[in-house]
A and B are shown apart, each in its own frame.
Chain A
């Protein structure tokens, strides 16, 4: 066990999972209550286009996908607000377009050996020191943001129109929340993977909502669940040599459905 932590890559993966556990546990609460789950899935897939652009231009894929996804999220938001398309239509069109764009850019860069599987399903070896630093920065901005704006986001999620009438700048808050969603998803892609990250956006708060009816307990439970899932997924994937993201998501899903089943059985009795 001690030798495990002497390895730099594992240290990084461990630290990353710890920070992401907090971030996803908290983020999930707002995503689920604001019914932004599909936006989460959409953004993760859009990141594929952003990563491919980065590789094509020879820049760090993190920056290119961050810019590309933020731009996409804001564009989707505007299209829905001012256009005549629904949220899921907008996201549906956008994310397949970005995936196609990604496939095109990668095929143009034939000589490049690209760890496609790693980006899609997560790779324990993928976390660099820079990724740790970036996640730490996000953590230090996101937590004060949430704790100071919590009640306003709660109001907006509960009843957007009334929140706006009572003087909350809902559109600004919504955009900020989308930007955080993008940043957290993009930074987690290396370890969890594009396809699987949407599970971490939805599962934690849904798990908390199974047990509790007040927001403090839901958030606490959600963070705890994410930490347990990510940590055990990390160790298991190392020892069994499974893709990290896949292990985390399978564990999390099993845990969720076990809880559903147990609660059902208790209720029947």
Chain B
């Protein structure tokens, strides 16, 4: 039984089509995401990346096809704390009167029933999450005063504090400089290895993520490639997703300082 559970894909999409106003956004998507892996979904603007995440999360209902999260439809999983979610976009409301700790604590409160307070376990989880993203020292600063990268890390800590089995990140590296991005990707690897969490993230930059992810899915309305990026992505797939005449710069995330650009 146990073995069956671990072999089960974290997310499985079978022939999923999504359309808005008769416009097909996702076209017959078949995708299986392995448990305890990092998968990156790459593709151009308007290619349907965020819609795909919303479909997995159960926010968007498919027009046809089937979505399963650990073998169940998403409608049955949302309250069970399976997902930790980092949406796209930045928080522009600088005046929202909370500090970093409050933001992370929100995710613990969301699991509580009527009027329940946080207990010691909750507080430990909050601190552990803040520690993972190295923000424990800054968590008492007003959220609005943190830098873009620090805000992003706090929001990831909030997603982690839900103790999810799947972490869904929509363009998580937005607002991070090159060094911070490298650190961020190392952190994702640690989260996968130490906590056994499946990570699905959306990214524009195929070069930056291909060094660390286990699987890459190239999406432009359809899935044009799905597999291990280290084994090479066929040129035809890249062309179908990004168009012709495009160059890719592959990064090695282990290099901390770049001495030369080539």
Q: Is the contact region of chain A dominated by helix, strand, or loop, or is it mixed?
A: helix
Task: Give the residues from 172 to 201 in chain B that come closer than 8 angstroms, CB to CB, to chain A.
Answer: none
State the interface size on chain B (CB cutoff 8 A).
33
Measured CB to CB, the closest approach of chain A to B190, in angstroms, equals: 23
Q: Is the CB of B97 within 8 A of A165?
A: no
Residues from chain B with Cβ under 8 Å of A215 in the complex: 97-98, 102
Pair A158/B96 contact, Cβ less than 8 Å: yes
The answer on a CB contact under 8 Å between A212 and B57 is no
A88 close to B (CB within 8 Å): no
Residues of A within 8 A of B98 (CB): 154, 158, 214-215
- Chain A residues within 8 Å of chain B by Cβ, number: 26
> Is B246 part of the binding interface, using a Cβ–Cβ cutoff of 8 Å?
no
Q: How far is it, in angstroms, between the C-alpha of A263 and the C-alpha of B106 when the chains are bound? A: 31
Are A213 and B106 also in contact (CB < 8 A) when A158-B98, A161-B87 are? no
Instruction: Specify which of B59, B95, B102 is in contact with A209 (CB 8 Å cutoff).
Output: B95
B230 CB to closest chain A CB, in angstroms? 32
Q: Which of A147-171 contact B (CB under 8 A)?
A: 147-149, 151-152, 154-155, 157-159, 161-168
Q: Are A162 and B87 in contact (CB under 8 A)?
A: yes
Least Cβ distance of A151 to chain B in Å? Answer: 4
Whether A155 contacts B142 by the Cβ 8 Å rule is: no
Contact B78 A165 (CB under 8 A): yes
- Name the A residues within 8 Å of B91 (CB-CB): 159
Residues of B within 8 A of A167 (CB): 78-81, 110-111
**Do A218 and B97 touch across chains, with their CB atoms under 8 A apart?**
yes
B33 sits at the interface (CB 8 A): no
Per the 8 Å Cβ criterion, residues 162-195 of A in contact with B are 162-168
Q: Are B142 and A152 in contact (CB under 8 A)?
A: no
Is A33 engaged at the interface, CB distance under 8 Å to the other chain?
A: yes
Tell me if B144 and A147 are in contact (CB < 8 A): no
Q: How far is the CA of A163 from the CA of B109 in the complex (A)?
A: 10
A75-131 with Cβ < 8 A to chain B: none
Docked-complex contact B79 and A164, CB < 8 angstroms: no
Q: Nearest CB to that of A161 among chain B residues?
A: B87
Whether, in the assembled complex, B105 has its beta carbon less than 8 Å from a beta carbon of chain A, the answer is yes
Query: Contact at B96–A166, with CB atoms within 8 Å?
Result: no
Complex: how many Å from CA A94 to CA B87? 33
Q: Are A166 and B97 in touch, CB under 8 angstroms? A: no
Interface contact B109-A152, CB-CB below 8 Å: yes
Whether A151 contacts B59 by the Cβ 8 Å rule is no
Given contacts A33-B96, A215-B97, contact A163 B142 (CB under 8 A): no
The listed residue (A147, A151, A164) touching B109 by CB distance below 8 A is A151
Whole-angstrom distance from the CB of A18 to the nearest CB of chain B?
Answer: 25
Residue of B with least CB distance to A154: B106
Alpha-carbon distance between A222 and B144 when the two chains are bound, in angstroms: 20
Task: Out of B80, B87, B144, name the residue touching A159 (CB < 8 Å).
Answer: B87
- Cβ of B110 and Cβ of A152 under 8 Å apart? yes
Listed residue (B85, B145, B159) with the most chain A CB atoms within 10 angstroms of its CB: B85
A151 and B109 CA atoms in complex are apart in Å by: 6
A142 CB to closest chain B CB (Å) equals 14
Most buried by B among A159, A163, A168, A212: A159
- Rounded to whole Å, the gap between the CB of B186 and the closest CB of chain A is 24
Q: Whole-angstrom distance between the alpha carbons of A166 and B97 in the complex?
A: 21
Residues of B within 8 A of A214 (CB): 97-99, 102, 142
Question: Which residues of B pack against A, CB within 8 Å?
Answer: 57, 59, 78-81, 83, 85-87, 91, 95-99, 102-103, 105-107, 109-112, 114-115, 142, 144-145, 158-159, 162
Beyond A159-B91, A162-B85, 4 extra complex contacts between A and B, CB < 8 Å: A148-B114, A166-B107, A167-B80, A214-B99
Top 5 closest pairs, chain A to chain B, by CB? A148-B115, A151-B109, A213-B142, A167-B79, A155-B106
12 examples of A-B residue contacts, CB within 8 angstroms? A151-B109, A151-B112, A155-B109, A161-B85, A164-B78, A165-B78, A166-B111, A167-B110, A168-B110, A209-B95, A212-B97, A213-B145
> Could you tell me which A residues sit within 8 Å of B by CB distance?
33, 147-149, 151-152, 154-155, 157-159, 161-168, 209, 212-215, 217-218
